[in-house]
Structure 1
Amino acid sequence: MLVTKLHYHRVSQLLDVHFDNQYIATLSAEFLRVHSPSAEVQGHGNAILVTNKKEVAISAIEQVGHYAARIIFDDGHNTGLYSWDYLAYLGKNHHQLWQNYLSELKQKKASREALIPIKLTH
């Protein structure tokens, strides 16, 4: 499947991924961050549990060739290349991946919440 459009909603922090077969996956910035395909997160085969990213947002998205996007997060993470196939996988397996993530957080007594709550006002 090819991605035809990426639409990020800054307020809700949701990314709509539109595919050429009319499938649309809606993925939160937090979900994308904790499931980054980067070596830093994937740990070269031993995935690392990413915590404290509930409030993470996407700062920018850059297309990489005709096969992927680099998603740049406001926590500085920018090394994950999200291939179209990987985005489709995340969309189709979202529920199970998210449940697995929440279970692992609970098992390791970790949290989605930020270590230090920060509030920005305009």
Structure 2
Amino acid sequence: MAGLQSGAPTPQEMTVHSQSKVLQISFSDGAEFRIPFELMRVYSPSAEVMGHGPGQEVLQSGKKDVGLDGLEPVGNYAVQPSFSDGHNSGIFSWDYLYFLGSQQDKLWSDYTARLAEAGVTRDTPMPEKAGKSCGSH
């Protein structure tokens, strides 16, 4: 099934912490992660963020205070969050959530380095989209 590798850990419990802005997930292998909403948003597996292929990723900025308005199940393999900035097209498989949780130190480091390279911060608003359109967003 898409989003699940055979024998991969699956979530046993998921808690949305709105005030601290983290998704707490306990997995079947005993791992537990507190994934910040901002990290989920800037690494959303959507075409809007990831593009349609390698090298087409879109750096997300201004997501420091993003909230989570909803979290809908997708079959028995994923969830689809609705973020407070209107983004709701990413489908987060159990494997991807485990990846985000287990690699968050490296992902944060990579993200802040890309922001610095672009001369923006976590607070810098995203530039307006001008004439850019894609049917998958």
C-alpha deviation, 1:25, in angstroms: 1.1
List runs of 5+ in structure 2 lacking aligned partners.
Answer: 1-8, 126-137
Give the length in aligned residue pairs.
115
Q: Which residue is equivalent to 2:34?
A: 26
- Structure having the higher Rg: 2
C-alpha deviation, 1:74, in angstroms: 0.6
Structure with a larger share of its residues in helix: 1
Q: Which residue is equivalent to 1:120?
A: none
Q: Match for 1:74 among 67, 70, 84?
A: 84
Q: Does 1:6 align with 2:7?
A: no
Partner Cα separation in structure 2 for residue 4 and residue 34 of structure 1: 25
C-alpha deviation, 1:44, in angstroms: 1.2
CA RMSD of aligned residues (A): 1.0
Q: Does 1:51 align with 2:69?
A: no
Partner Cα separation in structure 2 for residue 60 and residue 108 of structure 1: 31
Q: Match for 1:17 among 15, 25, 36?
A: 25
Give me the TM-score of the superposition, normalised by structure 2.
Answer: 0.81
C-alpha deviation, 1:114, in angstroms: 5.3
Q: Match for 1:41 among 45, 49, 52?
A: 49
Runs of 4+ deviating beyond 2 Å: none
Give me the TM-score of the superposition, normalised by structure 1.
Answer: 0.90
Q: Does 1:107 align with 2:101?
A: no
Contact 1:30 1:53 in 2 (8 A): yes
Contact 1:29 1:56 in 2 (8 A): yes
